[in-house]
Amino acid sequence: MTTASPDPAPGNTPSPDPAQRKREQRGWYMYDWANQVFITSVVTVLIGPYLSGLACAAAGAPDTTVCTGGPYYVYPLGIKLHANALYPAVTTTAILLQIMLLPVVGAMADRSRHKKRWLFWLAFTGSVAVSALYLAGDRWLPAAALFLVANVVYGASLAVFNSFLPEIATPDERDRVSSTGWALAYLGGATMLAAHLALVLMADDLGLGQADAVRIAFASAGVWWAGFTVLALRPLRNRYTDLALSARRPTPKLTVVQFARTVKGMRRYPQTLLFLLAFILFNDGIQAAVRYAAPFATQDLRIGQEVMMGTILMIQFVAFGGALAVGRLARVTGPKNAVLATLGVWCVLVTLGYLLPAGEPVLFMALGVGIALVLGGSQALARALFSQLIPHGREAEYFAVYQISDRGSTFLGSLAVTVAVTLTGGYRVAIFSLIAFFILGGFLLWRTDFRKGIRDVGNEEPERV
């Protein structure tokens, strides 16, 4: 099997051999490179306008590229939705399913001696669902269902993937490793998005319709995700944990019970809980801004798909440097202060987004540059900070909680966007509301005492927090 590896290594701490750690870190980076194409090309750029277009066509809108307002409705499972609300509604459903499933996935991965295998099958399932969008054609309901599956397993794969971070990097390495992973993710996403942009722009010359070009892009994104996942898993090692050494078989019932105990036990770590609450709030703003940038651009700002895709492509390349730059800033100011600085910039950016006039592609691109500079750094450092607040042997479980916090925050944002779009037919008001999440999340992050939290879980303190 592709994911086969030597017998699991004893312990769940980083190797004392720097060369071995670097090999595992390079493999870990590769999965960031592999999965980012789903977020960049599929979630951020293509699927929102694509699903909205299919739904608008099914609802009888005369112009499927812009159907704000109007009595244009679809009825998934008998529920009345404005055609433009289909995408946020599917996203909201996916997040709700993740919240229910991630505890089982995280707890079972911690109990397994084959965590690499878990990551492989989750990534493989997601990649197949993305590629299968090619076969859905112009049928909006199968397309929505496939995107739902891909979204759910993508989130589950991240819970397992992130749990490798404490196993491959020492406390002082984690800011650098996490930031480098995010930077390479943006570079990988940009590489594939450039190919997709060229495909969409040359669709007529190639004898393809725009919808056909988008479906081919979906298929290639799935192949990219699966192929690089295989390469990512080769240098990573399975490790024994206290739970993996347990003689009890990791059944879903047992893992749910254990996960419930873990969540209950987190009350002993108030700084971990405070950070998670801060993360839920400020990550809500980041995730909503990323997920709904494309439909906001096309529907409210009247930005053409070519300009929109070009802007998001530019964001990926700038974000590569931005993630590294924020990582370097963290080495000077500490990661907590670096994240707080990025949240201040986010407040300015969403305000400018609300004020942005329609039909101004240059201003839209300028706003994209600002987003790119802070997009990856805040999330990368948040991941590294949380890794310091996890007791040994509970990495996947705690990162499942982290991922639930991630999904939970996106659930709140997606639900708010769904309601706002249903009421107004557009995205502008919902975008401006995100400023509240950045302010409240930043305040709670400022209140978090990381040194105390690290001591409480029994971890080694890094030089800077």
pLDDT tens digits, one per residue of 314-330 = 887 887 788 788 888 88
160 bridge partner residues = none
Lowest mean pLDDT among 104-108, 371-375, 406-410, 456-460: 406-410
The pLDDT of residue 250: 56
pLDDT at position 291 = 72
Output 122 or 245, whichever has higher pLDDT: 122
Residue 15 falls within a domain, yes or no? Answer: no
Residue 3 has pLDDT above 70, yes or no: no
Would 6 be classed as within a structural domain? no
Q: What is the mean pLDDT of residues 50-65?
A: 76
pLDDT for 71-127, tens place per residue?
777 788 878 887 777 888 888 888 888 877 877 777 777 677 778 889 999 999 999
Name the band, by pLDDT with cuts 50, 70 and 90, for residue 226: very high
Residues 6 or more apart whose CB falls under 8 angstroms from that of 265 comprise: none
Q: What pLDDT was estimated at residue 170?
A: 84
Per-residue pLDDT band at 9 (split at 50, 70, 90) = low
Asked, for residue 463, whether it belongs to a domain, the answer is: no
* Total-model pTM: 0.72
- What is the token pair recorded at 175? 């800011």
Domain assignment of residue 389, given as a range = 27-456
Give residue-wise pLDDT tens across range 267-298: 888 898 899 889 888 888 887 777 777 777 87
Total domains in the chain come to 1
Q: Residue 245: pLDDT band by 50, 70, 90 thresholds?
A: very low
Q: What CATH number is given to the structural domain containing 31?
A: 1.20.1250.20
Amino acid in position 183: A
Nearest Cα to 111, choosing from 5, 241, 12? Answer: 241
Compute the distance between CA of residue 273 and CA of residue 85 in angstroms, rounded to an integer.
33
In a domain, 81, yes or no: yes
Q: Three-state DSSP class for 200? A: helix
Higher pLDDT, 259 or 238: 238
Strand partners, 74: 81
Q: Contact 313/193 with Cβ under 8 angstroms?
A: yes
Amino acid 395: pLDDT: 66
Q: Is 256 among the domain residues?
A: yes
Please indicate, yes or no, if residue 257 is contained in any of the structural domains: yes
Secondary element (H or E) of residue 81: strand 81-82
Residue 12 counted as domain residue: no
pLDDT at 4 over 70: no
The band of 1, judged by pLDDT with boundaries at 50, 70 and 90, is very low
DSSP three-state, residue 164 = coil
pLDDT, tens only, 436-462: 889 999 999 999 998 888 888 877 777
Answer whether residue 13 is part of any domain. Answer: no
Q: Quick one: average pLDDT of 30-58?
A: 87
